[in-house]
Amino acid sequence: MLLSRLGITFPAAFPAAGFSLFKPGKTLRKHSGQAGIELLIVWPVIVAAVFTFVQALIIWWGQQTLTVANQYAVRAGSINNGSHNAMVNTLVAGMAGLKPQLSTDNKMVAVTEAVVEQRLHYAQFGQLKVLSPTVEDFRQFADWRWDDELKAEVLEISVDHYHARASSDGSEQWHQARVLVIETYWCLPLDIPIAGEFLSATQTLLSDSKAARYCATRSRVFNKPLWALSNTAQHSMLSGYRK
């Protein structure tokens, strides 16, 4: 051969290692096929990881939105005699921020639609509970007072009461009864394929919180993956607390 006539020789290990100067097409096809198989194996993992990351960001955004909305809700309750409707309306208005309305000309209509959508969502997947004042607090500290606006007597825990402030017994309990504490559950829909089902099942398996159980029940009833968000907020009453 020409190489032998020119005195060119290759080490014995050179062809054994898979190197060849005479079969480049076969080698390239072999490497290309191997890369294709590796991509086929790794690609679903990459896609699932990206989907899970995006869904986790949506959950994080939902929790931050709920935290802010719940703070507004408890303040609305503190200035509206602990009105449950006032707190729920404020809550759902805050949760409308979960879906920003950026691609519309009529902002007012878009905001109204978002609030209505979240109000319907709350009716099925939300809960707002008053933790304080308790039933016992109301029984112990509520008394009849004249309401100038309603022109009638109302039963409430007043925000200022001389006898309660002056009393050595029960003064601390009365001050605690004037603090409005609410706890809110919100079941966030997980709409991203694969990641939604995985995260919902993971929370159901690992979390034993009341919010997780609440949303797990609704997830089974409505056959859709949900993530349980929860937040507790408190605010001193700025108006008398009424039932």
Give tens-digit pLDDT for 166-225: 655 557 888 888 999 999 999 999 999 989 999 999 999 999 999 999 999 999 999 999
What's the full length of the chain, in residues?
243
Q: For residue 192, is it within any domain?
A: yes
Where does residue 28 rank: exposed (0-12), middle (13-18), buried (19+ CB within 10 A)? exposed
Structure token pair of residue 204? 């159901």
Taking only Cα atoms into account, the Rg of the chain, rounded to an integer number of angstroms, comes to 32
> What is the rounded average pLDDT of the residues 149-155?
92
3-state class (DSSP) for residue 68: helix
Q: For residue 19, is it within any domain?
A: no
| pLDDT at residue 37 greater than cutoff 80 | no
**Cis bond before residue 133 (omega within 30° of 0):** yes
Residue among 191, 187, 189, 157 nearest 174 (CA): 157
Q: For residue 242, is it within any domain?
A: no
CA dist 210 and 152 (Å) reads 40
According to the model, what pLDDT value does residue 31 have? 57
According to the model, what pLDDT value does residue 60 have? 97
Structure token pair of residue 151? 């022109």
Domain membership of residue 112 as a residue range: 34-236
pTM across the whole model: 0.79
Q: For residue 17, is it within any domain?
A: no
| Phi then psi dihedrals of residue 157, to 5 deg | -90, 110
Q: Which residues contact 174 (CB under 8 A, 6 or more apart)?
A: 141, 161, 164, 165, 167
Q: pLDDT category, 110, cuts 50, 70, 90?
A: confident
Residue whose pair of structure tokens reads 């009833």 in the numeric block: 221
Tell how far CA 243 is from the center of its chain.
Answer: 29
According to the model, what pLDDT value does residue 154 have? 94
Percentage of the chain surpassing pLDDT 70? Answer: 79
More confident residue, 152 or 43: 152
CA dist 147 and 155 (Å) reads 10
More confident residue, 104 or 241: 241
According to the model, what pLDDT value does residue 124 have? 96
Q: For residue 84, is it within any domain?
A: yes
According to the model, what pLDDT value does residue 6 have? 45
Q: For residue 20, is it within any domain?
A: no
- Looking at the DSSP bridge assignments, the partners of residue 230 are 185
Q: For residue 27, is it within any domain?
A: no
According to the model, what pLDDT value does residue 118 have? 95
CA dist 219 and 227 (Å) reads 9
> What is the rounded average pLDDT of the residues 103-119?
84
According to the model, what pLDDT value does residue 168 have? 55
Q: For residue 26, is it within any domain?
A: no
Sequence-ordered alpha helix ranges (H) in 80-194: 84-95, 107-125, 135-141, 162-166, 171-177
Q: pLDDT category, 24, cuts 50, 70, 90?
A: low
Q: pLDDT category, 10, cuts 50, 70, 90?
A: very low
Residue among 103, 167, 152, 95 nearest 127 (CA): 95
According to the model, what pLDDT value does residue 144 have? 92
Q: What share of the chain is helix, strand, coil (3-state, %, to 5)?
A: 60, 15, 25
CA dist 82 and 87 (Å) reads 8
According to the model, what pLDDT value does residue 25 have? 55
According to the model, what pLDDT value does residue 43 have? 84
> What is the rounded average pLDDT of the residues 52-56?
95
What is the count of structural domains for the chain?
1
Query: 65 and 200 in contact (C-beta within 8 Å)?
Result: no
